[in-house]
Amino acid sequence: MSVVNSQQTQRRINELTRNTIALILAGGRGSRLKQMTDWRAKPAVPFGGKFRIIDFPLSNCINSDIRKIGILTQYKADSLIRHIQQGWGFLRGEFGEYVDLMPAQQRHDEHSWYQGTADAVFQNIDILRARNPEFVLVLAGDHIYKMDYSAMIADHVANKADLTIGCIEVPLEDAKAFGVMDVDDNRRVRAFVEKPENPPIMPGRENTALASMGIYVFNAGFLFEQLIKDADTKGSSRDFGKDIIPAVIDKYRINAYPFLNLQSGQQSYWRDVGTIDAYWAANMELIGVKPDLNLYDNTWPIWTYQAQTPPAKFVFDDDDRRGQAIDSMVSGGCVISGATVRHSLLFSQVRVNSYSEVNDSVILPEVNIARHCRITKAIIEKACQVPEGTVIGEDRAEDEKRFHVSEGGVVLVSAEMLGQRRHYVR
């Protein structure tokens, strides 16, 4: 491609992204994360040492040059709202850039809550119409991945689609947890089924299904028309996957967009961290020498709010009392005081005191681990004060008496479980 053609293509993509509004569905509780979502919505759950889950779709928008963003909030949203206000106020309104919070407001009926994913967008249809976008990008706010949405929008336009659905390849046995598509050789969607017992197999593949990522590019006029039609349909659950998409497949152009690495052609990194085991594993992956999710990629930074903290500190160097972290990630403000941390991820302002050991664990912000503790394969919730001599992760039967233990053996510890005053967690 010539330089001139490349510049023209980039200008066209910039025009498409400027005419796009992204809506991030961030109202879900995420009940499978157990006590981690007792006081916050799933998109506000901390991840990766310094981020929140919602920082990933938000950063994808910014890095894709989409700077008109609405966040649809609902369940226990204060933590999420505070994070957005503190960390995402750098866009310039005079340039038409914004990150707007859009809570449920009873705009069209007596229900105080959004009734489904489609209803969440429908309840804000007047706001969207007033902003007159050409495209609406609908995103889930609770997945971990890096994706260039501008390429997906360009593909949507090139194929003259009414709706394009972002998709990943999943093993057939895992597909029952997703919305699954049946597509032809041109990526046109011929059927869409939510959580099917017998998922359709991808063309030309064995034991693989094409699953929806919950990422949709709509032509704005088409979206508005279908939302109104769905709102007038009795018995609808007001959901994109269950109602909107199945209803339009036969009459309109619905395309699948595979989420692939452009260099290798392989499936790109995407994680649903919706269970304790999945959350723990995704954090543990980051500690690897060459993790699939590269947080050190300066060409695709993950933006967030981060409190100003001092550097991490490691103190004492005696044979039986050495402050050290091995194969670990340690965030700012942490103090490892005569303790050993192995293959673990510590969020900001964690203190691990003398003679304690932390192994294979995720420690959220402001946790204090007292002396002579042994913690293995655990998630310690924010602001927990772990008493001296506590042992976690060595005896499942004992752990289950006090804490939540996942199917995979990950021990989740909250302040309430430790008998500490029930408190609000941000």
* Residue 357, marked binder: no
What is the tens place of the pLDDT at every residue in 172-227? 999 998 999 999 989 999 999 999 999 999 888 888 999 999 999 999 999 999 99
Would you state the pLDDT for residue 2? 57
* Residue 290, marked binder: no
Residue 57's pLDDT band (cuts 50, 70, 90): very high
CA distance 220 to 31: 32
* Residue 225, marked binder: no
* Residue 212, marked binder: yes
Residue 91's pLDDT band (cuts 50, 70, 90): confident
* Residue 34, marked binder: no
